[in-house]
Structure 1
């Protein structure tokens, strides 16, 4: 075989080594499949070859199938055909595993007769996250090796397991250290010396030895997952149940039918979209020219809930943090808040005492800006007030060393105004964490008018180090996430004003897949936060603009949500679970009467259509204004920042799946309520005219 082939063969002392080399993760794409089948056919016919060893170059054994091929007509040879060949090969086939052996990679390994692994190997079947199931024999082979309980754990969680656990559960035959090819050669020779031949997984029955326990595990998982939002969960359980009941070939056909059904579903399309959207978000123009600066020491200004969470996020990533507060009492409280976060983690068993001590050992406090002079990055997390933040920026600019990045965690305010307070606007960036900052996975990297490419590159590199999903956003009130959230809440408010209750709106959106409805979220965050924003924006509101004042009325009555025991819901005795409050319904009725509105009822599906249409329309505005680079970035922000159901793909993907003509009709029908919110953006008509969807813009 020639240089550059994705599959190569080397024969040593009667053992053939078949090496996959398809960077970066050795995905089992078409070229690899062709190469594998050609190599295996040749080796089966070669008298000199007595054993076949499968291994991979680079950092990992195949980490899965080629996801981009899902949903397309499969090209021969396909994975089940190759795995069937391997399993039925008359010569022993040994898989040498290292790296992250996931999805189709683990299915390949399970089709082999023996499996050896490097001790650092991780193994998993993560297809559940893509709305599908292991479709190349995983649902049939894993139960034979592991039993129903362990196999379902692996497939339904999607989480990888280590070699020690894999060995206990029967996937791995041996752990090898050092040179993998040498270990493979030694194992092959030991098989030859012992006269041990092939061991087809289809003939393995160790996972079926206790039929009653097997079925009990299936029934328990089916009961536990009843009502799960993803259709593939039930189909995975069905396939595992079928494994001991059907002959192997029939079980494989059952699995294939389920896979084909799922891969064509809207849920799987949405989940695959979300997967690629997260990776696409990391591709921003500034990375072509910008170079990330090294970050070792971080200053956090403000130690409230957000500031403490930001500090913890950086401490978790191994960085040094210096926390600045305005007085000794506030600083003591801030440091105690950080310690409490780690105390809770230690109590849960997710953090060792040693790690807790190490992280707390990297944080210190100060009351003086001059103590921040050696920081590589300073992040302000003070009160959401432009004048206060501007003062902080000016003081940071005066003390930080040249090349240090100054960042704001503002949720709404104008980054360019803050940058103008400094002599280094090219080093100013927005790092908008979502609360709680050490838990939420989204980080909006906000790029100002004069932000330099190096600063943007630094923001994205930092996000990766913190384990965050970064999305680039331009400067506008609320950036991407909070602009979209504002449109969502406005649509909900209009729906309530016209006749729905807040509780019906919340139930409708939970039914769609949100963990909480918009009014539950408002109560949790505090109604006074959005009230302050409305008051700030009041001078810019157009005269005669449609305005729903219910939230203002609640705040004026001291109803700020959970923290006051009353908001849209009531929270008896500090309960976190809200109960519908008749007093709120009376306030809503009074608002309707004052505006002469006769209430009408709304079905849950109509509530959802109204909210989703408003979000998609706002998304088009963000794209048109250049605030978001692509529709999939908006989807990523909404999934990771505001709990949009992943299995629906985000508001822009949801519109694609529903159909843009229907979105246009919904917006046109609703525009009489409020032209500013509902009038279809011109982009929509252009897309429909060209027969495109939003996804077409992701390719640009």
Structure 2
């Protein structure tokens, strides 16, 4: 797994890592490195060494699959120490990537030469870990504490050019990296590698304001990590590099890694890593894979409707290099064009490239989409309007054009039935802002053909999205689960909670935003409009029943009532919170909202009680999780990984808690079941609190680990 050759008359040993696709540091690769390095150091003819990777990739880091079991083979730390301690110069020839343990291996070498297209980084923090093969100790000694803190606590990748500027690499080349490295190795053959070339012997350049720097870093990670412990451990490890001798710093690095390695957060983050891969290999809930179906090439696409979502979708397509026909009414076209242009120019400036303005054509005429390969409809969320549009698209577009809808929950099958090509209709549910958010729900119906789904999934991947294939039902996966979550939050307000309490509990758990702050940001009028379309608002109650009960099922009209007062959230300057006028961003407690809640409770005879934070978590999250189990029962999602990916990448669920279904497995399914049964007994007018049959079955089967759920789900489907 590490090939050994000699070049330049046998004076340069070349060690090539071989473990496709990214030359991960598996046990076999580590053993190969140990053996070949020892061979090179003991060969009197060899004067210098070059380490490279096969197929244009240096090393992607550790083999994460090995984390699940007992580690075997040589350890990384002594292996890298042996390279650094050797008396012959060792040059790392970095192509493709040097991530994690791969970069730590390069830091153990005495020189580093990188190809201009290579990327480098220490992303261990994203897996709930820290760089524990000397990375937290060597990197600060090489580039200084501030830069090392930023890279290690964020896991950010840097380009070769930035790596050169920071001082991580000694040289960046455009030509054959290995040839340059061999030539360089010849030039340093016989030179001493004592002193600065052995990073472990360098003093760490600690800044005079170290305490303030560390305190500032701690404050930043507390704000950004939402309860994740790995970034804090990373700061502690870098602090050790700045304040302790190298050997003691390494011991501190080892201790910190030991606390992280088997933690629940590390397990959750590594589960997220593999879940993202799993959803990319999309499949039907029955287990049959569709990913063998070939996608149709998409060279030209159309976006119908240039509101907020349509503009973002058009930008995302153009940034991918796809020609776009953007259609909007004549009255709105000029403004929409200017906004899309501005978005493309800002994005290009951030990435340091030219804005792809020439890829977007604008038209008020639907006939302009006649020759495109794929259409994404992004008009107003109104079924009648969308049905009419799909009838028109079916007549205008060439045969074979895929017709996609960006609906957040309307019936995709119903739209398909309005066309002459129902097999080519799928949902592409983007999340706002569409050119930024990572999630894409690809919605298939019973008539969707595999190639259509494959095309939408592949297009999402090209756009940098985490694409998840889901079945068609109201709300699909994400919004279907969100509905009971939102309802429970409103019920808690009726019973005595405040928006501030609910949001604080959810945000301390790690959610990107509490439910009421999120509603204010999205606009309360959006949900109100949908509820009115669905007939959920208005009187509609049986005589003698309180307003809050409809057809025997509890319903909270709180959100409807504040919308009736024109409080739509940030856009109007008031919603669940008060803001500094329309468009304000800073949420403040609103005494008028509190008085409104008190009057509402008095009007309906609701006795205010103290709400415990644990009840907030259980009522909101366990109902959401219970709906997730129902989605798995119904075959809308293929597995728990699909649900968890949707919530992590689309709904602000904290990665270090793995997603709602993984969180349920960590809490314990029996505990979730018991609390749902309790709340259903107390609130019998809330049907979705009744535990799902799948949850009951999993508990009856001993609450197996989440990786085993699919077997039980298959058994449940076979009985239906």
Deviation at 1:378, TM superposition (A): 0.7
1:322 counterpart = 2:325: yes
Matching residue of 1:10 = 5
| Deviation sequence 1:234-276 (CA, Å, 0-9, x none) | 2212111212433323221210110110122222222222222
Paired residues of 1:531 and 1:555 also in contact (CA < 8 A): yes
| Residues 167 and 254 (structure 1), Cα distance of their counterparts in 2 relative to 1, 3 Å cut | same
Matching residue of 2:568 = 560
Counterparts in 2 of 1:54-453, with a 5 A limit?
54-70=51-67, 72-192=69-189, 195-197=191-193, 208-209=204-205, 212=208, 217-226=213-222, 228=225, 229-285=227-283, 287-325=290-328, 327-342=329-344, 345=347, 349-350=349-350, 355-356=354-355, 359-453=356-450
Q: Using the alignment, how far apart are the partners of 2:282 and 2:160 within structure 1?
A: 37
1:637 counterpart = 2:646: yes
Paired residues of 2:493 and 2:499 also in contact (CA < 8 A): yes
Matching residue of 1:545 = 553
| Deviation sequence 1:589-609 (CA, Å, 0-9, x none) | 343334432121112232112
TM-score between both structures, scaled by the size of structure 2 = 0.91
What SS does the corresponding residue of 2:559 show, helix, strand or coil?
Answer: helix
Matching residue of 2:591 = 582
- Name the Cα RMSD after superposition: 2.3
Counterparts in 2 of 1:529-544, with a 5 A limit?
529-538=526-535, 543-544=551-552
Deviation at 1:40, TM superposition (A): 2.5
1:689 counterpart = 2:700: yes
What SS does the corresponding residue of 1:70 show, helix, strand or coil?
Answer: helix
Unaligned segments of structure 1, at least 5 residues: 1-5
Deviation at 1:577, TM superposition (A): 2.0
| Residues 620 and 261 (structure 1), Cα distance of their counterparts in 2 relative to 1, 3 Å cut | same
Q: Using the alignment, how far apart are the partners of 1:622 and 1:151 within structure 2?
A: 44
Deviation larger for 586-595 or 517-526: 586-595
Q: Using the alignment, how far apart are the partners of 1:466 and 1:206 within structure 2?
A: 43
Deviation at 1:548, TM superposition (A): 1.1
Deviation at 1:565, TM superposition (A): 2.5
| Deviation sequence 1:567-589 (CA, Å, 0-9, x none) | 22233422222322233333333
Q: Using the alignment, how far apart are the partners of 2:220 and 2:308 within structure 1?
A: 35
1:668 counterpart = 2:671: no
TM-score between both structures, scaled by the size of structure 1 = 0.93
Paired residues of 2:107 and 2:199 also in contact (CA < 8 A): no
1:500 counterpart = 2:511: no
Paired residues of 2:110 and 2:198 also in contact (CA < 8 A): no
| Deviation sequence 1:72-109 (CA, Å, 0-9, x none) | 43223121121122122233222111111111000000
Paired residues of 1:510 and 1:516 also in contact (CA < 8 A): yes
Q: Using the alignment, how far apart are the partners of 2:359 and 2:202 within structure 1?
A: 50
| Residues 183 and 456 (structure 1), Cα distance of their counterparts in 2 relative to 1, 3 Å cut | same
> Residue 658 of structure 1 is aligned with which of 654, 657, 667?
667
Paired residues of 1:21 and 1:57 also in contact (CA < 8 A): yes
Paired residues of 1:111 and 1:200 also in contact (CA < 8 A): no
| Deviation sequence 1:644-696 (CA, Å, 0-9, x none) | 12222211111122221211111111112145221111212222233313343
Q: Using the alignment, how far apart are the partners of 1:590 and 1:197 within structure 2?
A: 78
| Deviation sequence 1:166-194 (CA, Å, 0-9, x none) | 233332223344333322322222122x5
| Residues 199 and 206 (structure 1), Cα distance of their counterparts in 2 relative to 1, 3 Å cut | closer
Q: Using the alignment, how far apart are the partners of 2:492 and 2:206 within structure 1?
A: 55
Matching residue of 1:3 = none
Matching residue of 1:648 = 657
What SS does the corresponding residue of 1:314 show, helix, strand or coil?
Answer: helix
Matching residue of 1:486 = 483
Unaligned segments of structure 2, at least 5 residues: 284-288, 541-548, 715-720
Q: Using the alignment, how far apart are the partners of 1:305 and 1:355 within structure 2?
A: 23
| Residues 417 and 28 (structure 1), Cα distance of their counterparts in 2 relative to 1, 3 Å cut | same
What SS does the corresponding residue of 1:361 show, helix, strand or coil?
Answer: helix
